[in-house]
Copies of this chain bind each other. A is one copy, B any other.
Amino acid sequence: MNTREALTTPAPPAVTDLHASLTDPALTAMTFLNEVAERHPGALSLAAGAPYEGFYDVEDVHRALRVFTDHLRDERGYDAARVRRTLLQYGRTKGIIHDLIARHLAVDEGIDVDPEAVVVTTGCQEALVLTLRALRRDERDVLLAVDPVYVGVTGAARLLDMPVRPVAGGARGIDLADLRRAAREARTAGLRPRACYLVPDFANPSGLRLPLADRRALLEVAEEEGLLLLEDNPYGLFPLGEERLPTLKALDTRQQVVYLGSLAKTVFPGVRIGFAVADQPVPDSAGPLILADLLARAKSMFTVNTSPVAQAVAGGHLLEHDCSLLRATERVRAVYRENLRRLLRRLAVHFPAPSPVTWNSPQGGFFVVVGVPFDVTGDLLERSARDHRVLWTPLDHFHAGPPAPRALRLSASSLPPRRIDEAVDRFAGFVRAHTPAGP
């Protein structure tokens, strides 16, 4: 019977019988980048967006765990059995360090939020996935995202079959006219633009920071267009200078912003602790709810709860610094500043203006976008790693919109400061070797 054959997929299945996200080019591109790095362990990495690990110490894990255990006993008044249960058993879906995260947001970001609006997640990626899951009701729902966009966002959206429509970033971080256009075009196509994703502070990969006036204007546009804003803020504590700008969430008086937080760069990635702040009231007949409660319901079916052991380590780390991650990151922030300054200075030494090689000058964060006078390919990255012993990231991996083959991303986060000049020297050698001779 023909129908039966068509509906019987073989077990084991072919790749074409599986969900399309699993063979998405963005995913295979990321795998390729990692493989190049593994094949060339001697190459210096201006590719990795991983945090600087020079101050890491396994003993910090033990100490943080003890600090949190003491906190449960001394400040929350838990007896020994309850301390054990809190760390080792199943637990609250929204997490056990929500109060400490809320305190951090108040202390470091001027964000005042009820701890009940915080959902502690298995890294920021899960916070994003839960938010998209809630917002994608059916096939008409789409996400807007400032382009170029972090590959984790397009990946999460594809896993949930939610299309991503690009919004131009322009020179200031988001082009508000283009945001309006994107929202309206989506609606004209019969779609529902639900939210716009962006990193207002030192975006990945663009490095851009939204000026204060643009933040306020963005909140206005979002309200007019009926959009939530998904504000992802992994780099906000790392400006080059002293000035930090208020987050969108700090300016948000009408609950238009879902704030996505990560402790990967401020505690360490191995805790895999992130969070969502979702204080939006959600009308429901059964009683007062906020969006965080609904994200928690989705979480209970994705990962049940976030490891309380990992939360305890992050919580202890927060407690050790009075819940100020600005204070906790004093040493590493100095490294990031030094690294970004050196990288920009050294690029200027190698490519004095006028040059066919150009770059932007971010005011903080990890990333610099470099324009080069040749097409950037995977093959070129392999040759850069092999012949020049330096790694970087093609910008094309980040594009939801039109391709950008002549640009790449440099990251200044993971190398020690003393290796930055050398890495940029190698990078300059690579660029020169592939730059066509001038006219």
Which residues of A approach B to under 8 Å, CB–CB? 3-4, 7-15, 17-23, 27-28, 30-31, 50-51, 53, 56-58, 61-62, 65, 69, 81, 83-85, 87-91, 122-123, 125-126, 129, 133-137, 140, 152, 155-156, 158-159, 184, 186-188, 190-195, 222-223, 225-228, 255-256, 264, 268-273, 280-284, 286, 289, 291, 294, 297-298, 300-310, 313
Contact = CB atoms under 8 A, between A and B. Distances in A.
A57 B273 CA distance: 23
Can you tell how many copies of this chain the complex includes? Answer: 2
Majority SS at the chain A contact face: helix
Contacts of A8: 187, 192, 225-226
Q: When A and B form their complex, which 5 residue pairs have the shortest distance between CB atoms, in order from nearest?
A: A12-B280, A155-B301, A272-B307, A8-B226, A88-B270
- Counting chain B CB atoms within 10 Å of each CB, which of A3, A22, A301 scores highest? A301
Contacts of A12: 228, 255-256, 280-282, 291
B269 A90 contact: yes
Given A13-B135, A152-B301, A271-B307, 20 more contacts: A8-B226, A13-B228, A15-B284, A17-B137, A18-B294, A19-B136, A19-B137, A21-B133, A53-B88, A58-B83, A58-B87, A122-B272, A122-B307, A125-B303, A129-B301, A156-B301, A158-B301, A272-B307, A309-B310, A309-B313
15 contacts: A3-B188, A8-B192, A12-B280, A18-B294, A20-B137, A50-B89, A56-B89, A88-B268, A88-B270, A89-B268, A123-B304, A125-B302, A152-B301, A303-B303, A309-B309
A191 to B, nearest CB: 7
A9 B226 contact: yes
Contacts of A152: 301, 304
A361 to B, nearest CB: 27
Contacts of A283: 14-15
Given A22-B134, A84-B53, A137-B18, A159 B11 contact: no
A270 B309 contact: yes
A265 to B, nearest CB: 11
B309 A269 contact: no
Given A62-B65, A269-B88, A271-B309, A3 B187 contact: yes
Contacts of A190: 3, 7
A307 B264 CA distance: 11
A123 B307 CA distance: 9
A223 B8 CA distance: 11
B58 A192 contact: no
B90 A50 contact: yes
Contact of A30 (B30, B300, B303): B300
Contacts of A304: 123, 125, 152, 272
B58 A84 contact: yes
A301 B157 CA distance: 9
- Counting chain B CB atoms within 10 Å of each CB, which of A268, A302, A313 scores highest? A302
A22 B307 contact: no
Contacts of A81: 53
A254 to B, nearest CB: 9
Contact of A18 (B22, B134, B188): B134
- Counting chain B CB atoms within 10 Å of each CB, which of A126, A158, A294 scores highest? A294
Contact of A140 (B7, B85, B187, B270): B7
A289 B22 CA distance: 12
A146 to B, nearest CB: 17
A256 B192 CA distance: 41
Contact of A125 (B158, B255, B301): B301
A230 to B, nearest CB: 11
B87 A14 contact: no
Contacts of A301: 21, 27, 125, 129, 152, 155-156, 158-159
